[in-house]
Structure 1
Amino acid sequence: MRSFKILVFTIVTFAPFFADAQSFFAIRRNRNLLVGLGSGTANYYGEMVNPGEFGIIKPNITVSAEYYWLPRISSRAQLTWFQFSGDDSKADDDRRERNLSFTSSNIELSVIGVVHLSPMGTRFYQRSPLDIYGFLGFGLLRFNPKTVAPDGEKVALAPLQTEGVKYSRIQPVIPVGLGVRVKVDPFFNILVEGGYRLTFTDYLDDVSIKRYPDPAILSSDLARALSDRRPEIGTQPDRPQEVGVRGNPDENDGYFIANITLQYYLPTEIFRSSQHKLYRSKRKFWNRRR
């Protein structure tokens, strides 16, 4: 909610300046490059959510740049900060007895290809008022699952190797999804978009292996305490009789991102003006040296 308020404040504050600035540029010159700022929600899917459901709703903020190569084909680079979390106490079944939880702050850098149902038009301002599109791409995710230790301190789980397994916190992802683009005026779009991220890891939540690991292989008392948290709520049977189920290694974790994004068509004059200023600066420098 806080990130959404920041986005709304930014739009309300700066949109009038962008609108007034259009008088400086010839509208008839085409524009193929868009920049965007968006916010929305992120949901994780893995061992700590009810089957068939997504986890606790968390915020995200996205900045992006998109370029149209053809009337119906574009590509977009985007950087997204977001969070997701899971908590066994919210489970509908006996996973509550496992007593695990985590929160992760993440950064995703991705490049996607976009196919549009409606073409841009001969000129950017002639585009359709409404467009439906699909996207597929590749990205890198930096995640960092943390939990609250028994003493109340928040600690990162990956360095502790709570399952006796070392894993990388940088993982490839495949974004895939659908969106709707609404033309606000000649220079602005609103995007409403949702996309799932296929991952190649089962450790977004620091939980994967089926059985609890032998405490003897873990590196510290803290790792042992966070590996099996059933004793904290009295749900751990004697180990000789029961080992217990910790995770599901047969299915990777994933997450879903939903956004509302404001897009702006950048005028080509911005780049021409920058190049001209650079050229003039170089000329002044060399003339001064002579």
Structure 2
Amino acid sequence: MKQHLHVLLRKCALSCLALTTFTQASFSQIGIFNEVEAGVSFGPSNFLGDLGGNRGRGMGFLKDNNIAQTKFIIGGHITAMPASFLGLRLAVNYGTLAGDDKIIKGSGGLEEARKFRNSDFRSRLFEAFLAAEVFPTVFFEEDPEDLYKKIRPYGVLGVGVFNYNPMGSDPLTGDWVNLKDLSTEGQGFAEYPDRKPYKLTQLNIPMGLGVKYFMNDNVSIAFEVIHRKTFTDYIDDVSTTYIDPNLFDQYFGAGSEKAQLARRMANKTDQGSSTSAGFGPGDKRGTPTNNDAYYSAGFKLGFRLGNRGNGDNYKRIKCPVMRY
């Protein structure tokens, strides 16, 4: 585990170094940015989708947040400041997302169907995004140039891309297997023309709030919460209804190892139970009207690069200041 973490940190450092070199060279040439910050971030992340959840109807967002499935995300960033009230951040992050129906605490309500579904997933996550940071309180500061021990709240909004690969635990062996190629909901089957194979690289919209504390003119620390809106319902490989399991034999070969694996992963309910026949073709497996999402909450450490003055390398863009 330690060796794996060291590798991730090394990759993150190299990425930041490359971004820093490119950013400084580019911004020095166009000469419009007041300052450039580079840094790292670390904190918990959580998945919001079909799997897992809490009592009652699955509603998405924080209502179905599962603390037990909290993972971690680390990253690096380069932020250019064309003005004191505005930052343009380029960030890369690596983490994990997960969900599990077993953790649902049933109370005899609508959540029992999700608990009986008995599905789980985990996926590594790699994302990159470009976002604007807006610091509204700058307009009320007497001297925006003075950063020493200053606190600034800010908002974040941008656009990004992320890559994932959902895996589920095999109920027979306990091994984690890739789910996309198994077409668990008939993706790519002629019988379901509206269910296309989903792509493992998707767009997202990061949005959030944070507060930044400047320890001095060159070092800052921030705490922020960023939610990612996505345009897919298949981060956890669950979206719509169960299909006829015989189709797996038809498309993957009757009795083949892949067909048998697809059967097990597509429907993990106990169909041999004496109290329930389990879910069958056409029964609800997920909620296609709600796309998946995820969020992170963590600390961001930043270091200012270059020269803060109005020299040849930087041409400051003044922001309006409200004075009394």
Classify the TM-score, shorter chain.
Answer: 0.7 to 0.9
8 A contact 2:271–2:277 mirrored in 1: no
Provide the C-alpha distance between the structure 2 equivalents of 1:192 and 1:239, rounded to a whole number of angstroms: 44
Could you say if the C-alpha distance between residues 129 and 151 of structure 1 is closer, same or farther in structure 2, counting changes exceeding 3 Å? same
Q: What residue number does 2:108 align with?
A: none
Provide the C-alpha distance between the structure 2 equivalents of 1:232 and 1:118, rounded to a whole number of angstroms: 59
Counterpart secondary structure, 2:299: strand
Q: What residue number does 2:103 align with?
A: 90
Provide the C-alpha distance between the structure 1 equivalents of 2:293 and 2:163, rounded to a whole number of angstroms: 13
Query: Of 41, 51, 63, which aligns to 2:44?
Result: 41
Q: Which runs of 5+ in 1 are unaligned?
A: 11-29, 270-290
Q: What residue number does 2:234 align with?
A: 203
Query: Of 46, 52, 61, which aligns to 2:74?
Result: 61
Letter in 2 for 1:71: S
Matching of residues 242-281 of structure 1 within 5 Å: 244-268=283-307
- Using the TM superposition, give the Cα deviation of residue 231 of structure 1 relative to its aligned residue in structure 2, in angstroms: 2.8
Counterpart secondary structure, 1:231: coil
Counterpart secondary structure, 1:226: helix
Structure 1 or 2: more strand by fraction: 1
Letter in 2 for 1:237: A
Could you say if the C-alpha distance between residues 113 and 140 of structure 1 is closer, same or farther in structure 2, counting changes exceeding 3 Å? same
Matching of residues 227-246 of structure 1 within 5 Å: 227-231=266-270, 234=273, 237=277, 244-246=283-285
Letter in 2 for 1:74: G
Q: What residue number does 1:163 align with?
A: 185
Counterpart secondary structure, 2:264: helix
Q: What residue number does 1:32 align with?
A: 35
1 or 2 for the larger relative contact order (CA 8 Å, sep ≥6)?
Answer: 2
Letter in 1 for 2:49: G
Provide the C-alpha distance between the structure 1 equivalents of 2:226 and 2:292, rounded to a whole number of angstroms: 15
CA RMSD of aligned residues (A): 2.9
- Using the TM superposition, give the Cα deviation of residue 70 of structure 1 relative to its aligned residue in structure 2, in angstroms: 1.3
Provide the C-alpha distance between the structure 1 equivalents of 2:207 and 2:179, rounded to a whole number of angstroms: 28
8 A contact 2:101–2:120 mirrored in 1: yes
Matching of residues 209-220 of structure 1 within 5 Å: 209=240, 211-218=241-248, 219=252, 220=259
CA deviations on 1:76-121 (whole Å, 9 max, x unpaired) are 0000101111111111321111110011110011000111023395
Matching of residues 81-230 of structure 1 within 5 Å: 81-92=94-105, 93-94=111-112, 95-119=114-138, 123=145, 126=147, 129-149=150-170, 150-165=172-187, 166-209=197-240, 211-218=241-248, 219=252, 220-230=259-269
Could you say if the C-alpha distance between residues 83 and 236 of structure 1 is closer, same or farther in structure 2, counting changes exceeding 3 Å? farther
Q: Which runs of 5+ in 2 are unaligned?
A: 11-32, 106-110, 188-196, 253-258, 309-324
8 A contact 2:211–2:224 mirrored in 1: yes
Could you say if the C-alpha distance between residues 187 and 255 of structure 1 is closer, same or farther in structure 2, counting changes exceeding 3 Å? same
Provide the C-alpha distance between the structure 2 equivalents of 1:224 and 1:157, rounded to a whole number of angstroms: 11
- Using the TM superposition, give the Cα deviation of residue 128 of structure 1 relative to its aligned residue in structure 2, in angstroms: 6.5
Could you say if the C-alpha distance between residues 196 and 2 of structure 1 is closer, same or farther in structure 2, counting changes exceeding 3 Å? farther
Provide the C-alpha distance between the structure 2 equivalents of 1:99 and 1:178, rounded to a whole number of angstroms: 35
Could you say if the C-alpha distance between residues 71 and 91 of structure 1 is closer, same or farther in structure 2, counting changes exceeding 3 Å? same
Percentage identity across aligned positions? Answer: 28
Provide the C-alpha distance between the structure 1 equivalents of 2:41 and 2:103, rounded to a whole number of angstroms: 29
Letter in 2 for 1:90: I
8 A contact 2:45–2:97 mirrored in 1: yes
Counterpart secondary structure, 1:96: helix
Provide the C-alpha distance between the structure 1 equivalents of 2:116 and 2:174, rounded to a whole number of angstroms: 20
Q: What residue number does 2:26 align with?
A: none
